[in-house]
Structure 1
Amino acid sequence: MRKIIFTALFALFSISFYAQKGPKIVFKAVDNTIDYGKIYKGEDDGVRVFEFTNTGDAPLIITNVQSTCGCTVPSKPKEPIMPGKSDKIEVKYNMALGPIRKSITVESNAVNYEGGKVHLKIKGDVLERTETSPLEKKKVGPLQ
């Protein structure tokens, strides 16, 4: 019994040395992805927000936020995020027609991601609303 207790305490003590110390970034979006869904050009401004929290024990510093193309413009927090505090990264898509499949890279001093780099994604479809005139006759069958 003494050996089991000693082994358990040793294992618990050893694990505590491997726990990462420092800032940790945790995003609220599932899989770090925001789904725009099906949206219509001209009816949506294309702005979405990735909310995150510093769950570590040191200030989190976002050093850079970059998109894969110029059609997506991200903005980053200017000040360090203290432990336990939350902030946001705002992303504006230019609402070009077609599918949205873009990636944003966040560079920080977070210890819970390799090199402090986190990849965020946006996805969805931008459609154009087609309006028909109420005076326009609708085709009902193949003979018309």
Structure 2
Amino acid sequence: MKKNIVALAGLFVAFIALSSFHPAAESLSFKAMTYDFGKIVKGAPASHNFEFTNPSSESITITKVTASCGCTVTDYTKGSIGEGSEGFVKATYNAAKAGAFSKTVSVYHSGSEAPIVLTIKGEVVE
């Protein structure tokens, strides 16, 4: 009898946990996660728009976008992004120093606590 009650309680807890889980709302679907600028000229900032779609049945809002260094400026789609809607995260690299670079941009949104990490890379030439 005790085993049945414990098993039933366990099933109830599992049902509650799974019913609050929304896998479709967990992530935005980016067309590409990495962009290679190739060779860019020193002193000429380079930008790229990472395009995405919201594949979930719920609206998602980007809450914050952070770059791995001050040499990269970001912009992104503001407001609610509805089901099937598209948006962007823009990364602009300040090509102030010659040499190879690889920087990340972390995208936080309402569907997940973990960020989506995008990467830009290339080589700044004189």
Superposition TM-score tier, normalisation by shorter sequence: 0.7 to 0.9
Contact 1:23 1:83 in 2 (8 A): no
Three-state SS of the structure 1 residue aligned to 2:57 is coil
Alignment of 1:17-36 (within 5 A): 20-22=23-25, 24-29=27-32, 32-36=33-37
Letter aligned with residue 82 of structure 1:
G
Any unmatched runs of 5+ in structure 2?
1-18
TM-score, normalised by the number of residues in structure 1: 0.66
The aligned residue for residue 139 of structure 1 is: none
Q: Give the unaligned 5+ runs of structure 1.
A: 1-16, 129-144
Superposed CA offset, 1:19-49 (max 9, x none): 72436301011xx11111112225x541111
User: How many residues in Structure 1 have an aligned counterpart in Structure 2?
Assistant: 106
SS for the counterpart of 2:90 is strand
Q: Give 1:78-117 correspondences, 5 Å limit.
A: 78-96=78-96, 97-111=98-112, 115-117=113-115
With over 3 angstroms needed to count, the CA separation of the structure-2 counterparts of 1:50 and 1:21, relative to structure 1, is: closer
Offset at residue 118 of structure 1 (A): 0.5
What is the CA-CA distance between 1:107 and the residue it aligns to?
0.5
2:119 aligned to which of 109, 118, 121: 121
Measured after TM superposition, the shift of residue 110 of structure 1 is 2.7
Alpha-carbon displacement from aligned partner over 1:38-64 (angstroms, at most 9, x marks no partner): 12225x541111100000110011000
1:55 match: secondary structure: coil
Q: Which residue of 2 aligns with 1:13?
A: none
1:70-94, CA deviations, whole angstroms, 9 ceiling, x for partnerless residues?
1001112211111101011111110
Deviation at 1:119, TM superposition (A): 0.6
* Residue 41 (1) aligns with residue 42 (2): yes
Residue aligning to 1:9: none
From the two aligned structures, give the one with the greater strand fraction.
2
CA deviation vs aligned residue, 1:101-121 (integer Å, no higher than 9, x gap)? 10111101235xxx2410111
RMSD of aligned residue pairs (Cα, Å): 1.9
Segments of 4+ moved more than 3 angstroms? none
Question: Residues 33 and 27 (structure 1 numbering): CA distance in 2 closer, same or farther, change over 3 Å?
Answer: same
